[in-house]
């Protein structure tokens, strides 16, 4: 009987290539490969995860199948998909003939003194600044000459600031929905 080492390379290659097409039990293929491993000069190229590939695929697929809907359900970013809040360009106007500088500060800029410097309209006592704001409610005031913070004298809304003074505030909301019966 011919031993495996007696075969030429091309003969062996042809013989092995036909193995994958043969219908044989997993046990028989396993037994054959164990025997072949003992033969001198024969090396197997191991395919990583070959045996457990199917199990891994099933596990990963099942995990995804459960994880994806759960992630969408529980993550705020996915469940509360909303259009971005509407934004408005708001023009703030303040009139003061004696002021040397006027700065607009409020909730929208964390009350920062150096962010929104109002511009004086040439030839007038009117100070103007335009700010893009998203819908919401914002307290604001005018810092005059880097000393006094004054509220807007003509604001429709004023609120106690909690420190013994008042701040003006604006309400920016859409008029599309007035809130009928729910």
Partner 1 sequence: MKLMIPLIAGIIVLSMPAIAIPGTAREEASSLVAALDKVYGADVDTEALKSAVSEAVEAGIPSELMETLVRESASKGRSPKEVSGYIEIASDLHSNGIPSELIFNTVLEGFVKEVDKETMENTIGMLRSKLLFCNETAQRHTGRRGGKQSRHELLLTALFYTMNTGFNKSQITTLSKAEADEKLGSLHFFNILKISMELQNLGLDNGSITVLIERSIRQRVSIHQMSQYPSIVREGKVQGLSDEQIYSSIFNQTDKAFPPERSDSKKSTAAEMSAPQPEGGGGGREGGLPPGGSPGGRK
Task: Restricting to residues 118-137, name those near partner 1 by CB under 8 A.
Answer: 126, 135-137
* Contact call for residue 12 and partner 1 (CB under 8 A): no
Is 178 within 8 Å of 172 (Cβ atoms)?
A: no
Distance CA 147, CA 64 (A): 60
Stretch that binds partner 1, among 2-10, 18-26, 36-44, 155-163 (CB under 8 A): 155-163
Residue 25 or 182 with smaller CB distance to partner 1: 182
Is 140 within 8 Å of 170 (Cβ atoms)?
A: yes
DSSP helix/strand/coil, 144? strand
Contacts to partner 1 from residues 74-113, by CB under 8 A:
75-76, 79-80, 82, 85-99, 105, 107, 110-113
Looking at residue 52, the DSSP 8-state letter turns out to be T
Tokens encoding 72: 């969408």
Residue 30 or 153 with smaller CB distance to partner 1: 153
Residue 1 or 89 with smaller CB distance to partner 1: 89
Stretch that binds partner 1, among 3-11, 16-24, 31-39, 162-170 (CB under 8 A): 162-170
Nearest CA to 170 among 131, 140, 147, 130?
140
* Contact call for residue 18 and partner 1 (CB under 8 A): no
| 170 half-sphere exposure, CB direction, 13 A CA radius | 21
- The contact mask relative to partner 1 for 38-77 (x = CB under 8 A, - = no) is -------------------x--xx-xx--xx--x---xx-
Residue 12 or 136 with smaller CB distance to partner 1: 136
């Amino acid at each position: 009987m011919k031993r495996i080492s007696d075969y030429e390379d091309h003969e062996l290659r042809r013989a092995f290539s036909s193995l994958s097409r043969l219908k044989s039990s997993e046990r028989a293929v396993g037994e054959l490969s164990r025997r072949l491993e003992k033969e001198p000069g024969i090396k197997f190229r191991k395919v990583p995860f070959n045996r457990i590939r199917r199990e891994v695929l099933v596990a990963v697929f099942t995990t995804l199948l459960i994880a994806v809907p759960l992630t969408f359900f529980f993550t705020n970013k996915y469940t509360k998909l909303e259009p971005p809040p509407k934004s408005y360009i708001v023009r703030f106007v303040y009139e003061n003939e004696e002021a040397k500088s006027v700065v607009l500060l409020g909730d929208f800029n964390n009350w920062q003194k150096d962010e929104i410097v109002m511009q004086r309209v040439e030839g007038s006592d009117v100070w103007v600044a335009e700010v893009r704001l998203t819908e919401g409610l914002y307290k604001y005031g005018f810092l005059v000459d880097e000393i006094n913070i004054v509220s807007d004298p003509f604001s429709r809304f004023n609120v106690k600031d909690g420190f013994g003074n008042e701040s003006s505030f604006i309400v920016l909301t859409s008029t599309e929905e007035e809130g009928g019966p729910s």
